[in-house]
Amino acid sequence: MKKMSKKATALAGLGVLAVVGGTFAYYNQTVSLENPLNTGHYDNEVIEDYTPPTDDLKPGATIDKVVGAKNTGDYPVMVRIKMDEVWRNADGDIIDRHSSEGLTAFAAETGASGEFTAQQIDDEDGDVSNSAGGEDNSVVRKNLTSSSKWTYNVNDGYWYYNEVLYSGEETGNLLDSITLASNIDLGKYIQKDYYYVGTSGMSQGDVTDNMWAEYTVSRDDDGRVNGITVGGSAIDDENNDGFYDAIDMAISLGITDEQKLFRKNESLLDEDHTGYADANYTLTVTSQFVQATPDALTEAFGTEGSLTGLPQDIQDVINGIDLDDLDLNRQGTAGSQGNDGE
């Protein structure tokens, strides 16, 4: 899904370049700009929502998702990009969200082993909203490029391209791919145990769903059975072998030679603690392009008319723009990057 937001009627021709699964998809808007060097609100924002294919979204999987920007208009601009993510459950309700405004939680580092494991309070409790307190990091790593031309601003969560982008030029990639954590919380599972007393000539397949009766099995931290309760009554270690098992149940239930005890166990997802199971992930990339004049950039990127909240190298680029020397006729060749790339 793609949404456009105009902040003025006179806009530079701009585009965000996205590569999904190796296929280039251009999101362009071209609008004439009559007086390109007049100070004013000549900026545009392009928002792209990306939802990975469900079949590809598996623990530990890396999915191609390339993010960059291209100036498809006629005049020089500067660009900044931010990213936000949201997880929605099967009902469409938001269960988790992160933004690049909190980079530590949003773009966690890969571990020393090369495997990405997200920082989570508990990766098996099925609680991604952290109702118990604290905060989990994002379970999706954003594999950012090592390009020195992108500068992250901790104050607003944007990555700034630290050069003027002339007509036809591309920034080069900010993001190459995303990786789903190998330890993603896929919910809390509940063990359900059932039994049925049938005749000796029956097999498990003869026991239909409505025949099964639930009983309770308690287990220690290692999964070893340390107690069985049937019909509200606890079953003892009837044969004194140190275990609680089917033999104890059969003795306690008075199973005869003409009868047979059937048991089954199911592991079911707790509907109140589903984690990220059956959830949909969307990464929203917002690219803002602004006409390359100090006044326009200060108003769009700055705060209350000041650039002090921006990284120093971005301030230097903006303050160093000389309108008399700005080459409006400069055209980048197809695929060229700002200042001819690195």
**158 contacts 311 by C-beta, under 8 angstroms:** no
Residues 173 and 198 grouped into a single domain: no
**284 contacts 18 by C-beta, under 8 angstroms:** no
Residues 69 and 179 grouped into a single domain: yes
Q: What are the residues whose beta carbons fall under 8 Å from the beta carbon of 209, sequence distance 6 or more?
A: none
Residues 202 and 180 grouped into a single domain: no
Last residue of one domain, picked from the residues 269, 300, 317: 269
Predicted confidence (pLDDT) per residue in 225-263, tens digit: 899 999 999 999 998 998 899 999 999 999 999 999 999
**56, two tokens:** 């590809």
Last residue of one domain, picked from the residues 269, 301, 317: 269
Residues 178 and 307 grouped into a single domain: yes
Predicted confidence (pLDDT) per residue in 95-153, tens digit: 888 888 767 666 655 444 456 667 666 676 777 765 444 567 788 888 888 888 999 99
**121 contacts 42 by C-beta, under 8 angstroms:** no
Last residue of one domain, picked from the residues 220, 236, 269: 269
Residues 130 and 180 grouped into a single domain: yes
Residues 309 and 182 grouped into a single domain: yes
- Angle (deg, nearest 10), helices 294-301 and 312-319: 150
For residue 214, what are the domain limits? 189-269
Number of folded domains in the chain? Answer: 2
**76 contacts 338 by C-beta, under 8 angstroms:** no
Nearest to 172 by CA among 335, 7, 3: 335
The per-residue pLDDT for 108 is 54
Residues 94 and 163 grouped into a single domain: yes
Q: Give me the percent of the chain exceeding a pLDDT of 90.
A: 27
Q: Which position has the token pair 């059969």?
A: 250
Question: What region does 131 belong to: left with phi over 0, alpha with psi -120 to 50, or beta?
Answer: alpha
pLDDT of the chain along its 342 residues, tens only?
433 333 332 233 333 333 322 222 222 222 223 333 333 334 455 667 677 776 667 888 888 888 888 888 778 889 999 888 888 888 888 888 888 876 766 665 544 445 666 766 667 677 776 544 456 778 888 888 888 899 999 899 999 999 999 888 889 899 888 888 888 888 888 889 999 999 999 999 999 999 999 999 998 888 888 999 999 999 999 989 988 999 999 999 999 999 999 999 988 888 888 888 888 888 888 888 888 889 889 988 999 889 999 999 999 999 998 877 777 666 665 455 666 444
Question: What region does 92 belong to: left with phi over 0, alpha with psi -120 to 50, or beta?
Answer: left
Residues 170 and 201 grouped into a single domain: no
Please give the angle made by the CA atoms of 145, 180 and 110, to the nearest 5 degrees: 55
Residues 75 and 25 grouped into a single domain: yes
